[in-house]
Every structure is written in structure tokens, then in C-alpha cells.
Amino acid sequence: MALTRDDYHGILHTLGPPGQALPREPESFWQRLLEARAGAFQRVDARADTLIEEADPRTASDLLPDWERVTALPDPCVTGEQTLNARRDGVVRVLTTTGGASRPYFKGLAADLGYDIEIEDYLAHTVGSDVSEPIRGIDWRWAWTVRAPSDTVEYFAVNSGVNEPLASWGNERLECVISRLAPAHSLVLFAYGEDENGG
């Protein structure tokens, strides 16, 4: 907890040597000078207290650009302005994500971006395949489909800035991020507003 101006004035007053050259009367020039210096110390102390919040990217504001520089953000998939919360979430995601190539990893990644998706894998048709299954060539084993709603809406958060939009929508970011992070040997397809049976 930061010390107050009065706390610093008392400390400076106590540190001064006794004598007539440094008067103790509140209206003296010396005491007014100590009061002014106490204000400067109090401001520095209060600012140091805010650095505790800035050290955590989840609460950073002033140092958020530095966090973004360290994590190579903004993401190349981001177009237009981002909300303060989206910027913070991006930094936290880069710092905490371990990567992966599984369904849960990509579903979790999409959820962090604000998308609710399902993932469909494919198998190549073989002699033992069910006759009701579509006939797919061997290359289909590397394909997978991300199924998402036709429109995903991101709403205004309680701690968003006053100049931020009440809602935004679109799926371009989902496609960009997943395509960039998908395993290099795979082919990712995107389908919107469809169920798993293509309806």
C-alpha cells in the first residue's frame, strides 16, 4: 500500500536535523518545501504500486504495448482495432499456450477466440470400410473440417473501454488463426452453419 503525502511529509520532517535553520512551524518556507517534496514522493510511490498490476498482462494497461512487443503481437490474423480485453487475452494466450495438434487443443483455441466449433476428421476408404461411408482417397486422412456457426458475435465486456463497439462479428480471425497453427501436413476445411451431416 502506498504511503500518503502526509506520511512522506512526516518522514522528511523527521529526517531533518534540529535547529533554527529548519523551522518546525507549518507555515514556514521549509515546511512548505517539505510538503511539496512529499507530494512528489507520494506520486512516485503510487506509481510504483500500479506497476504491480502492470507486471501481470491480465491487468496491464500502460505496459500492454511492451507485453505485445515481447509476444510478437498483434497477431497477423487481427484486422482492425482490438478491444483492451482482446489485447490482454492475446498476450495471455501467447504466454500460456503450449501448442498441440489434437481436437481439444483446437476447440480450446477457438473458444479462447470466442468461437464455438466442432471438428470432423476423415478416414480413407478401405476394403473393410462400411458401405454407407463415402469413398475417400488416401489423402483424406490428412483433412479435417472445422464447423462453426454462420455468424459468431463477440459482445461488449464489462471492463471494456467506452470507445469500444458493443458487438463485433465474423469468422475471418478463426480461419486465419487455425490455418496458421494447423499441422503443416494437414488440410483444414471450414464449414459454417452446417451440422456434421452437411445439413
**pLDDT for the residue numbered 67:** 95
Tell me if the pTM is above 0.85.
Answer: no
The residues near 186 (Cβ < 8 Å, ≥ 6 apart) are: 142, 143, 144
72, 96, 120 — which closes off a domain? 96
**What distance in Å separates the CA atoms of residue 159 and residue 93, rounded to the nearest whole number?**
19
- pLDDT value at position 163? 60
Tell me the pLDDT tens digit for each residue of 108-147. Answer: 989 888 889 999 998 887 777 777 777 888 888 899 999 9
pLDDT attached to residue 160: 57
Residue 22 lies inside a defined structural domain of this protein = yes
Checking if the pLDDT of 198 tops 50, the result is no
For 140-171, what is each residue's pLDDT tens digit? 889 999 999 887 655 555 555 556 555 555 68
Q: What is the pLDDT of residue 48?
A: 85
In a domain, 198, yes or no: no
Residues 91 and 45 in one domain: no
In a domain, 36, yes or no: yes
Residue after which a domain boundary falls, among 80, 96, 112: 96
Q: Judge if 107 and 167 occupy the same domain.
A: yes
Which residue has 459468431 as its cell numbers?
A: 152
Q: Are residues 18 and 41 located together in one domain of the fold?
A: yes
Domain enclosing residue 46, as ranges: 5-54
The tally of domains found in the chain comes to 3
Domain for residue 168, yes or no?
yes
Q: Residue 197 falls within a domain, yes or no?
A: no
Model confidence at 194: pLDDT above 70: no
What confidence score (pLDDT) does residue 189 get? Answer: 93
The residue from 35, 66, 96 where one domain ends is: 96
Residues 49 and 78 in one domain: no
Burial of 139 (0-12, 13-18, 19+ CB in 10 A): exposed
